[in-house]
Chain A
C-alpha cells in the first residue's frame, strides 16, 4: 500500500514537472516558441522524465534488494548459537520471526530473544522504508529542479525524450525475451535432471507409460515406466482426427466466404466462426465428455462396436470444431489477398469461377493456407482440457480411435496435480514432456511463419 502512495506522489510530481518544464520553455524562448529546438511539450516531458524515472528506478531496486538486506541484518543480530543452526532450521526460525514481526501466527513458543529479534526486524524495516520514501521524493524534486534549470532554447528535448522512450521499449521487449529464455532454460535443466534418472532412449522409445513410483520403500506402487511413445501416439491420433474434422470444414468455409458469399453474408459468418475460437476449452471439454462421447458410444453400440466411454474420437472431433476458425479465418484472409488482377486474368481466358478458384486462387494462396493449417495443428497438439475430459487418462498404445488414449499435455497435468516431491522422476518427467511438446510446437510454428513469409514476398 505504501508503495502505491509513493508512486502516486511521484506521478504527481512528474505531472507538476511537465507543466513547469513547458512553462519554463515558453519563458526562455522569450514568448516565441518557434525559436525553440523542440515544441514546449517536449521540454515538459523532459522534465517529467528527470523527475519520475530516477526515483522509480530507485524504488524498483529497493523493492528487490530490501528484503534480502533486512534478512541478513536479522540473522547477524541473532545470538551466536542460533546462527549456528543448520540451514533449514534457521530458515524456519527466520520465518517465525518475520511472522511475529508482522503479527501472523507463529509455530513455536515466543521467548525473549525471539521477540527482541522480531521487534528489531520490524523497526529496521520501518525505518528503511521511511528513508526510502524520503530519498525517492528528494531525488524526484532534485531531478525536477535540475532538468528545469537545464532548459535552453537549444536543448534537444524531443530527441532526448524519444531516446528515453525507445530505451523503455527495448527494456520491455528484453523482459519478454528474457522470460521466454528463462522458461526454456528451466525446462531444459529440469529435463536434464530427469534424463539423469531415466535414460533418454527409454523415454523417447519406450512403449509403456506408468509414472507411479513408490514414494517409500515399503509402499506398493507402480514400477515407474517412462516410455512416452503411447503419449506421442495418442497426441498424434487426436491431432489427426481433429485435423480431419477441421481441414475440410475450415477450407470449404474459407472458400465460400472469400469467393462466393456476398459481402453482407461474409460480415456475419466470419465473426460467428471466430466465436468458436473464443469458447473456453473447458466448455468444449464437457461438451465432448457429456454429449459427443455418449453419442459416439451409443451409435457404436448400435452397430455392434465396442466403444469405451472415453474415446479419442470424441476428443478429436470436438477439438476439430475448436480449431476450425484458425483455418477458415486465416485461409479466407489469404485468399482475399490474392490480387484481383489474377482472377481477371483467369476469367479473361475463359475460366469459370470454380476453375479460377481451383487452378489460380487456391494455388496462389497455398503457402498461406499451409501456414494456417500448421498453426491450427500446433494449437491442437497443445490442447489439454478437452482431452482430459473426453479422451481419458489411460496411456494405451492403440490405433483404434474408439479406445481411450491420453496425450502429452494431459500427462503433464496428471503428473503435477496433487502433492509432489519436486525431484522425483515422476515430477521431472513433466519437464521432459514439456520440452518435447515445446520442441514440436516451436518447429511447427517456425515452419508456419516461414511459409507465410515466403508467401508475402510474392505480390509486392
Chain B
C-alpha cells in the first residue's frame, strides 16, 4: 500500500472511499483474545454504529481506532488500521496528532473539574490551534454552538463544567471533542447515562455532525442505531459477524446470530 502518497489525497475523493479501515485486527488482553480478525471500513461523513451483546469487543474495537488501547496495561493490538490510508500503528506516528484527528466521547460524561470555557479550550490550547484569545473565544463559541449547548451556557462560561446536568455534561464533552476539529469522532455508548429527552438531543446532534465529521458510535439500543446510523456492524464474541447498510441489517440480516440478536432472542 502506498501510504504516504495517499495520505495527502484531498477529501474530494469518492464518497465511498473509507475514511478508516481495519484489516485482520486482533486484540489481546494478556492471553485472552478480545477481537478476532476484524475487517471493517468506516465510511467518510457517515455514522457507523457498532452493536452486539455485552463483552463482545465493541469498546475494544473503538479504542483501537485512536489507540486508546495503548494506555491499558497488557493490551496488544495486531493487524492493519489505517486513517486516510496511513497506518496509525506504524512506528514514528505521533499519537498526539492521531488523537487530534480522531476524537472520542465516553460513556460517562467526564468533564474536567475546570470551567466550561477551559473544558472546551483544553484541546485547542494543547494543539496550539488558537493564536489569540479572540481565536480561542471563537473556537469555544463555535464548538458549543455545534454541540447545541451555547444558548444554555453562554452566560456562565466560567462556571465549573461539573456543575452541569448529565445531558449537558455529555454535550460539553462532545463540544470538547469537536473543538480540536477532528476528522473522526468515536462515541462509546454516549447516551447510556442519559434520559430519553437528553438522548434525543444527542441523536439530533449526531445527525447534524455527520455533515462535517465521520462518526463511529457504540450503542446498546438498536432503535438508536437504526435512527442515527447509515451503516451498522454486529459484533459477537470478538467476531465481526456482519456489516451492512443499517436498513438492510435490521430488515434483512444475513447471519443467524444477527437475526437472533436484533429480534431479542439473545444478548
Contacts and interface: CB of A to CB of B under 8 A. Distances in A.
A binds B: yes
B42 interface: no
Interface in A250-269: none
Contact of B95 (A344, A350, A359, A363): A350
B68 A349 contact: no
Nearest to A341: B110
B159 interface: no
A162 interface: no
A81 B42 CA distance: 112
B126 A347 contact: no
B144 to A, nearest CB: 16
B112 A345 contact: yes
Interface string B91-124: 0000111111001101010111110000000110
Given A350-B126, A359-B122, A458-B113, A345 B99 contact: no
A348 B68 contact: yes
A364 B113 contact: yes
- Of B71, B95, B100, B173, chain A has the most CB atoms within 10 Å of the CB of B71
Contacts of A345: 106, 110-112, 173, 176
Given A349-B177, A359-B122, A458-B113, A344 B106 contact: yes
B103 A363 contact: no
A348 B66 contact: yes
Nearest to B186: A348
A347 B108 contact: no
Classify chain A's interface size.
10 to 19
B241 to A, nearest CB: 28
Given A352-B96, A359-B122, A347 B112 contact: no
B128 to A, nearest CB: 11
Given A342-B112, A363-B114, A364-B112, A349 B99 contact: yes
Contacts of B24: none
Nearest to A458: B113
B230 interface: no
Given A350-B123, A363-B114, A341 B95 contact: no
B106 A349 contact: no
B180 interface: yes
Contacts of A75: none
A350 B127 contact: yes
Contacts of B95: 350
Contacts of A344: 68, 71, 104, 106, 110
Interface string A352-382: 1001000110011000000000000000000
Given A341-B106, A341-B108, A344-B71, A349 B113 contact: no
Contacts of B113: 342, 363-364, 458
A346 interface: yes
A342 B173 CA distance: 11
A204 interface: no
A359 B112 CA distance: 10
Nearest to A338: B113
B162 interface: yes
B126 A355 contact: yes
Contacts of A359: 122
A364 to B, nearest CB: 5
B173 A347 contact: no
Contacts of A342: 110, 112-113
Classify chain B's interface size.
20 to 34
B180 A349 contact: yes
A221 interface: no
A339 interface: yes
Interface string A423-460: 00000000000000000000000000000000000100
A109 to B, nearest CB: 82
Contacts of B127: 350
Nearest to B66: A348
Contact of B97 (A349, A350, A363): A350
A349 B114 CA distance: 15
B103 A349 contact: yes
Contacts of B110: 339, 341-342, 344-345
Given A339-B110, A352-B96, A359-B122, A458 B180 contact: no
A351 interface: yes
A458 to B, nearest CB: 6
Contacts of B100: 349-350
Contacts of B123: 349-350
A360 B126 CA distance: 12
Nearest to B114: A363
B122 A349 contact: yes
Contacts of A458: 113, 162
Nearest to B111: A345
Contacts of B111: 345
A348 B110 CA distance: 11
A347 B123 CA distance: 10
Contacts of A341: 106, 108, 110
A275 B99 CA distance: 42
A348 B104 contact: yes
- Of B97, B111, B114, B126, chain A has the most CB atoms within 10 Å of the CB of B126
B164 to A, nearest CB: 14
A364 B161 CA distance: 13
A238 B113 CA distance: 35
Nearest to A366: B113
- Of A344, A347, A349, A351, chain B has the most CB atoms within 10 Å of the CB of A349
Contacts of B112: 342, 345-346, 360, 364
Contacts of B122: 346, 349, 351, 359
Contacts of B126: 349-351, 355
Contacts of A352: 96
A350 B99 contact: yes
A359 B123 CA distance: 11
Interface string A218-245: 0000000000000000000000000000
26 contacts: A341-B106, A342-B112, A343-B71, A344-B71, A345-B106, A345-B111, A345-B112, A345-B176, A348-B66, A348-B68, A348-B103, A348-B106, A348-B177, A349-B99, A349-B100, A349-B123, A349-B177, A350-B99, A350-B100, A350-B127, A351-B96, A351-B122, A355-B126, A359-B122, A360-B112, A364-B113
Given A347-B71, A350-B99, 13 more contacts: A344-B106, A345-B173, A345-B176, A348-B66, A348-B177, A349-B99, A349-B103, A349-B122, A349-B176, A350-B97, A351-B96, A355-B126, A364-B112
Per CB-CB distance, the 10 closest pairs between chain A and chain B, nearest first, are A350-B99, A341-B110, A348-B104, A349-B123, A350-B96, A345-B110, A350-B100, A364-B113, A360-B112, A347-B71
